[in-house]
Amino acid sequence: METHFPSYPLAELHAHLSTSIHSSVYWQIAQSQGFKLPKRDYHEFIKHITLSQTRTMELNTYFSEIYHPLLDKLSSGTYAVEKATYEIMSGAYRNNITLLELRNNPMKHNQGGAVDLDHVIMAMLRGMERALLEYNKLSAGIIFCLAREFTYEQNEIIVEKAVKYHRRGVVGIDIAGPGTPTFHSKDYQSLMKRAKQAGLQITVHSGETKDADDMWDVLEFLEPQRIGHGIRAAYDKALMQEIVKRGVILEVCPLSNLVTKAVENIDEIKFILKTFKENKVKFCINTDWPEIIEDGHLWRQFKLLRDENILTEEDLKHCNQTALESTFVPPGGLSAYL
């Protein structure tokens, strides 16, 4: 099979567990556990869960219709979590990725509380260890996502688990999910400080869609090293200056923004990345949903950005270098956690 991998290995810092599982792996998980699926034919199932440049869906619609009722459910429990983590990480290496940060909210993978959280986390770590053992040039780590829709107490438990398993490969904390009336970054200031003191690093989903525009609060109260997406900053000069001043890196996920209608079209992506370059905002390129988006693998997204004249080969190399320099993962593959 002909591929167009860049001549250098890639680093992926922003990919979610549920949206990084290959359809065939989802299918195996479902069949082996007897899950009833909304589509009984494999190809129909793929069509149902996949978004593309011609099948777009608003983020919240995808979440409520496909992500939560189907993907989260299928990728729940120890068997699914271990298999998924192993398959995602080994598959990433076979697609030219040598550094992978994989994120998930462990409380969304414990079958609604039916499975003990430590068992779910250990399953994830076993999957990662096996991939790291088999592919010895791969480095990887796991980020735990808190949820804006969760209570503070639930999120605090996730942080405590991240601290507990930090030495085993949980490298950072993220906050994900759409804005809610009850979530305020300010309330999480001391919890994030505690996480940092324990050696965890911080990234936060923000500035992805027009209604998730809390980047100023995120910077002030949570002081993350990186921000997931952050594309709305391109429309706020003062915000870009603040990002540069603080040395925060934006994890840009171009194709994800296109298929979930966070941007109008590819020209808007072009405008955003051009604006970031002009304002010296540092960013890296990521997939967010590598298996749910058609042609969503990282090397394919590099190719798309180059083919559409959005970034040059030199820009892309620079983005990859930015990712390598801002990773939360310690060097050394498996030995980093032994």
Instruction: From 104, 120, 34, select the one nearest 72 (Cα to Cα).
Output: 104
Binding mask 14-53 toward Zn ion (x if CB under 5 A, else -) reads ----------------------------------------
> Cβ 288 to Zn ion, closest distance in Å?
5
Q: Which residue is nearest to Zn ion (CB)?
A: 288
Contact 292, 50 (CB under 8 A): yes
In the complex, least distance from residue 334 CB atom to Zn ion, rounded to whole angstroms = 26
Scanning 36-44, 114-122, 215-223, 283-291 for contacts with Zn ion by CB under 5 A, the matching segment is 283-291
CB of 335 to Zn ion, least distance (A): 29
Segment contacting Zn ion (CB under 5 A): 44-52, 55-63, 139-147, 285-293? 285-293
Contacts of 13 (CB under 8 A, 6+ apart): 99, 101, 203, 226, 251, 284, 286, 323, 326, 327, 328
Write each residue from 233 to 272 as x if it is in contact with Zn ion (CB under 5 A), else as -, in one continuous string.
Answer: ----------------------------------------
Q: Per-residue DSSP letters for 282-306?
A: -EEE--BSTTTBTT-SHHHHHHHHH
**Rounded to the nearest whole angstrom, what is the least distance from the CB of residue 254 to Zn ion in the complex?**
13
Q: Count the Cβ atoms, other than its own, within 10 Å of residue 189.
A: 14
Nearest approach in angstroms of CB 222 to Zn ion is 16
Least distance (Å) from Zn ion to the CB of residue 132? Answer: 23
Contact stretch for Zn ion (CB under 5 A) within 33-41, 62-70, 81-89, 288-296 = 288-296
Contact between residue 252 and residue 13 where contact means Cβ atoms under 8 Å apart: no
Question: How many Å apart are CA 215 and CA 228, to the nearest integer?
Answer: 10
State how far the Cα of 100 lies from the Cα of 89, in Å rounded to an integer: 7
3-state secondary structure of 146: strand
Q: How far is the CB of 60 from Zn ion (least distance, A)?
A: 14
Q: Which stretch binds Zn ion (CB under 5 A): 120-128, 265-273, 282-290, 314-322?
A: 282-290
Tokens of 74: 């299928």
- Closest to Zn ion by CB, 87 vs 288, is 288
Of 115 and 215, nearer to Zn ion (C-beta) is 215
72, 101, 288, 291: which one contacts Zn ion (CB under 5 A)?
Answer: 288
Concatenated DSSP letters for 218-267?
IIIII--SEEEE-GGGGG-HHHHHHHHHHTPEEEE-HHHHHHTTSSSSHH
Any bridge partners for residue 12, and if so which?
100
- Report CA-CA distances (Å) from 76 to 99, 277, 335: 25, 40, 28
Tokens coding 241:
């200056």
Query: 72 vs 288, which CB is nearer to Zn ion?
Result: 288
- CB-nearer residue toward Zn ion: 175 or 239: 175
**What 3-state DSSP class applies to 206?**
strand
**Least distance from C-beta 87 to Zn ion, angstroms?**
19
Residue span binding Zn ion (CB under 5 A) among the ranges 17-25, 64-72, 193-201, 284-292? 284-292
Q: How far is the CB of 114 from Zn ion (least distance, A)?
A: 26
- For Zn ion, the closer of residues 15 and 163 by Cβ is 15
Residue placing its CB nearer to Zn ion in the complex, 224 or 333: 224
Rounded CA-CA distance 109/89 in Å is 18
Residues in the interface with Zn ion (CB under 5 A) total 1
Residue ranges in contact with Zn ion by CB under 5 A: 288
